[in-house]
Amino acid sequence: MASGDEDFIVRFVGVQKSYDGETLVVKDLNLDIKRGEFLTMLGPSGSGKTTCLMMLAGFESATHGEILLNGRPINNVPPHKRGIGMVFQNYALFPHKTVGENLAFPLQVRHMGKAEAEEKVKRALSMVRLDGYDNRRPSQLSGGQQQRVAVARALVFEPDLVLMDEPLGALDKNLREEMQFEIKHIHETLGVSVVYVTHDQSEALTMSNRIAVFDDGVIQQLATPPKLYEEPENAFVAAFIGENNKLSGRITAVNGQSCTVELDSGGNVEALAVNIGGPGDRTTLSLRPERVLINPPADKYPNTFEAKVEELIYLGDHIRTRVNFAGNDQFVVKVPNAQGHAIIDEGGAVRVGWALEDCRALDA
C-alpha cells in the first residue's frame, strides 16, 4: 500500500464509464474518499453520481480506470465480496421476513453463529431506536421505520463503508429531515465511512463532511458544505447550491482580485474575480439573496442601486423580497424577520446594496 493510501478508504483513479461505447457518463474521475468521512455525491439526474456509486458497489463495471477499496483494486471483485453496506430508496427489505430476520440475513451469509448474530441484530436495532421491533414484518411499519430497518441492516455486519442511494427520497418532508439527523448522528457515533447520493442540496449541506457536485459526468467542485455555498467556483455550482441571484455582463476592468462588470441591463458592479477571462469577456455574477441589504447605510457599499419592490412573501423567519433594479425584475433579497428589520412596502422604492466580496464573478 503506497504511503498515505491508508488515509483513504476509496480511490477512483482515472475512472470512466460508457454504456454504449461512445458517450461517457463518467469522465476521467479522480476522487479520494477519506476514511471515516461522510461524502455526498450531489447533482441533477443524469450527472453521473449514481453510476459512480453503482461502480463502487460492484453493480456496474468501469469502462476504464481503477477503483481501490482499502488500497486494493476491486474492479474484478463481485459485489457480495466487497464487504460494503448498501441502503436504497425503496428499502429493499424482504417482505416475508420479520425485521429481525431481515437484519440477520447479511450475518447468515457471512456464516456467523446464532448467539453472536442475535446480539448484533439487537445492537443494530437499538442504534436506530427500534428496540423490540424484531418480530414485526415490514408491512407493519411506517415508511420511516422501514428506512431505519434498511439502515440497520446495512450496518449490522459492521462494514467499513456504507453506500446510500437516495435513501430518503420516498419520505415526506418532516420524516426526511428527522432521518437526515438520525443518519448523521449514527455516522458520527460509529465513525463508519459513508458515500451518499442525492439530488437534494439541503440534504447534502445538512449531512456531509464534503460534497462532490457532479454535472455532465464531471466533478464541478469538491468541498465542505460552507465552502461550497459561500465560495462556488463556477456558475453551475453557484446556481445548483442554494438560491442565487445571477447577473450577466461584460468585464470592463480587472484590478487584482476584483473586477468591474458592466451589466447587460445597465450599471456597473464591483465584484470578486473568481473564474473569469479579461476585459471584454462575458461573465455571470453570483450573489446570495441573504447577502443583499435593503436601504444600506450611505457610502458603505461600492454596489448600491435604486430598486422597486415587486413582491413580498412572508416566510416566518424572513421576508422574501423580489425587487426590480436595472431592468432585472427577478432579483431576490431575503430580509431577516428580526427586531429592527427594514420596513418595506410592495410597490415602494428602496435601495439595494452589497459588499464587493459577496458578489462573485464566474464563467459566463
Per-residue pLDDT of the chain (364 residues; tens, 9 = 90+): 444 567 899 999 999 999 998 899 999 999 999 999 999 999 999 999 999 999 999 999 999 999 999 999 999 999 888 989 988 877 678 889 999 989 988 888 888 888 888 888 888 888 888 888 989 998 898 888 888 898 888 888 888 899 999 888 877 888 888 888 888 988 988 889 999 999 999 999 999 999 999 999 999 999 999 999 999 999 999 999 988 999 999 999 999 999 999 999 888 999 999 999 899 999 999 999 999 999 888 788 889 999 999 999 988 888 999 999 877 889 999 998 876 666 788 888 999 999 999 999 999 8
Task: Using alpha carbons, select from 235, 229, 258, 257 the residue that is nearest to residue 248.
Answer: 235
Task: Using alpha carbons, select from 152, 172, 61 the residue that is nearest to residue 103.
Answer: 152
- In this structure, the answer to whether residues 10 and 151 fall within a common structural domain is yes
- In this structure, the answer to whether residues 229 and 270 fall within a common structural domain is no
Within 13 A of 154's CA, how many CA atoms are on the CB side?
Answer: 31
Cell numbers for 8: 483513504
In a domain, 294, yes or no: yes
Domain count, the chain: 2
Cβ atoms of 214 and 48 closer than 8 Å: yes
- In this structure, the answer to whether residues 197 and 272 fall within a common structural domain is no
Give me the residues paired with residue 232 across strands: none
The model carries a pTM of: 0.89
Q: Given this model, what pLDDT does residue 260 score?
A: 95
**C-alpha of 305 from chain center:** 34
CATH number, domain with residue 288: 2.40.50.140
Q: Quote the domain boundaries for residue 104.
A: 5-235
Helices 114-127 and 143-155, axial angle in degrees (round to 10): 130
Q: Given this model, what pLDDT does residue 106 score?
A: 87
The helix/strand/coil state of 266 is: coil
Cell numbers for 102: 431481515
In a domain, 240, yes or no: no
Q: Given this model, what pLDDT does residue 1 score?
A: 42
The helix/strand/coil state of 340 is: coil
- In this structure, the answer to whether residues 317 and 337 fall within a common structural domain is yes
Q: Which residue has the cell 438560491?
A: 243
Residues 6 or more apart in contact with residue 248 via CB below 8 angstroms: 263, 264, 282, 283, 284, 285, 364
Query: How far is 134 from 132, CA to CA, in rounded Å?
Result: 6
Cell numbers for 146: 422501514
Length of the chain: 364
| Burial tier of 39 (Cβ tally within 10 Å: 0-12, 13-18, 19+) | buried
Cβ atoms of 287 and 356 closer than 8 Å: no
Q: Given this model, what pLDDT does residue 3 score?
A: 41
CATH number, domain with residue 22: 3.40.50.300
